[in-house]
Structure 1
């Protein structure tokens, strides 16, 4: 996907997410069996689902939920990973080795299965999904931050600050954090598509958002029953609302990464 097409796609979807919900009030519990299973038409461009709800409007509402949950979950994982990586790189020695063993332990766990275990402890909600993604996907950020901190510690300006009597906290605040923030911002953007897919998978399994709420995962789960009756649009449309924006975000994030730091490789391919 070209960069300009990715930008245009995200702009259109962002306008839809921002403008449609205030204009079109969606009743999450609405059931209209007279309009159930209608194919795409002028009145319903993407058809209706098995209980008569407009697929396009529900997909827009579901995309808004997915973006919000994905952004918050990515921020949580970046905060956890950033603090762990900063502590490991700045302290060094035994604390560094212990923290990296914790990272290795979390990496050894199957992310989706561990995430299912976490959300199973709570009632289906957006907060449970955020906790699940944040707790299971911070290890990559920790490794990135640790690597950058170890590289920065050998830079002349950091060595000069330490030789001049700067405390460890001052070095972290004045010299390390300003260099780490752009990397964490990029890692957060790259984490968002993964977090959205994670939320969708959990909702599809019935462990994410409550079933009556407009969620892309819930819609695909509901739409799979309609496939037997030929209502293909009930699953295809929410699937495209997942695939297209996450692909566009990935394209823009990789373009930003290559422009800012061409030496970065697959370590950020979350």
Structure 2
């Protein structure tokens, strides 16, 4: 492969992470630079201008700063949800693959059962029981998304355990710990990391949907979902920016996470070679 081609490939693998870095810096930096905001109803629903590049909302808050605050909350919830779902999925997937037999079959039927449930409906039920509590949102997302991680980890672990180089290492006298450390665990770790990143856009969308429907965060806590929910009435008055700005932030964040997950998946393929 020529050098220009390699450079294009590396650029394609890197730019989503650069975009995510810019989004994270904006989510933290813009509210910090703007400082504490005070409601100014005389400036409510002002269109984009030099003073307010993204306009203001119905309370007179600068919409760019408000969107950055909402993005910060949505990212925090999404990261915690993805970590929780990944840890739960990895533990269950590894246990099922290593134990095998009827426990493995039971776990797989459980995975199928949870996958058959409508995730959004289950999330609404869980979040509605403790409306406005961030932990309820985290639980609703993590408890409906771990089966995908468990299935991937289990399949990867079984595939690597039966690979030729693993069998060769065993025949060469490698201990069970050596095989697990150098062949099984690296494969599972890579897939778990990929699964966690892939879960992030789902978590962002689910948190935004729950808050938009009114069963997520309370309106006084800025998130992308609550901002979109508040914008429903404002758009009818012609204040299109109150919907366009947080919606653009949501789409950009979800797409960046999705592309980052795809690049991470291409980089972290299971090792296929060295016995020792």
**TM class, shorter-chain normalised?**
0.7 to 0.9
Once structures 1 and 2 are overlaid, which stretch shifts more, 3-12 or 237-246?
A: 3-12
In structure 2, the residue matched to 1:192 is: 200
Alpha-carbon offset, residue 157 of structure 1: 5.7
Given candidates 113, 120, 139, the residue that maps to 2:128 is: 120
Deviation at 1:154, TM superposition (A): 1.3
Between Structure 1 and Structure 2, how many residues are aligned? 259
Deviation of 1:175 (Å): 4.3
Q: Aligned-pair RMSD on alpha carbons?
A: 2.4
Partner-residue secondary structure (3-state), 1:73: helix
- In the superposition, the TM-score normalised over structure 1's length comes to 0.87
Deviations 1:19-50 (A, max 9, x none): 223332334xx432101110000111011111
What's the TM-score once normalised by structure 2's chain length?
A: 0.86
User: Which residue of structure 2 aligns with residue 226 of structure 1?
Assistant: 234
1:92-241, aligned counterparts within 5 Å?
Answer: 92-156=100-164, 158-159=166-167, 160-161=169-170, 172=180, 175-241=183-249
Preserved CA contact (<8 Å) 2:190 2:268: no
In structure 1, the residue matched to 2:25 is 15
Q: Is the 8 A contact 2:211 2:225 kept in 1?
A: yes
Match of 1:244 among 219, 229, 252: 252
- The CA deviation string for residues 152-197 of structure 1, in whole angstroms up to 9 with x for no partner, is 2213565455996956x88655642222111111111111011000
Which of residues 89, 103, 118 is equivalent to 2:97? Answer: 89
For structure 1, the residue ranges without an aligned partner over 5 or more in a row are 263-270
Taking the aligned partners of 1:102 and 1:95, their CA distance within structure 2 comes to 11
Structure 1 stretch displaced more, 117-126 or 58-67: 117-126
Give runs of aligned pairs for residues 19-30 of structure 1, distance below 5 A. Answer: 19-27=29-37, 30=38
Distance 1:166 1:181 in 2: 20
Deviation at 1:8, TM superposition (A): 4.2
| Structure 2 residue ranges without an equivalent (≥5) | 1-11, 271-276
Partner of 1:266: none
Question: 1:33 and 2:38 equivalent?
Answer: no
Displacement of 1:151 in angstroms is 0.9
Query: 1:113-160: CA deviations, max 9, x gaps?
Result: 001111122141222111111000011111101101111221356545
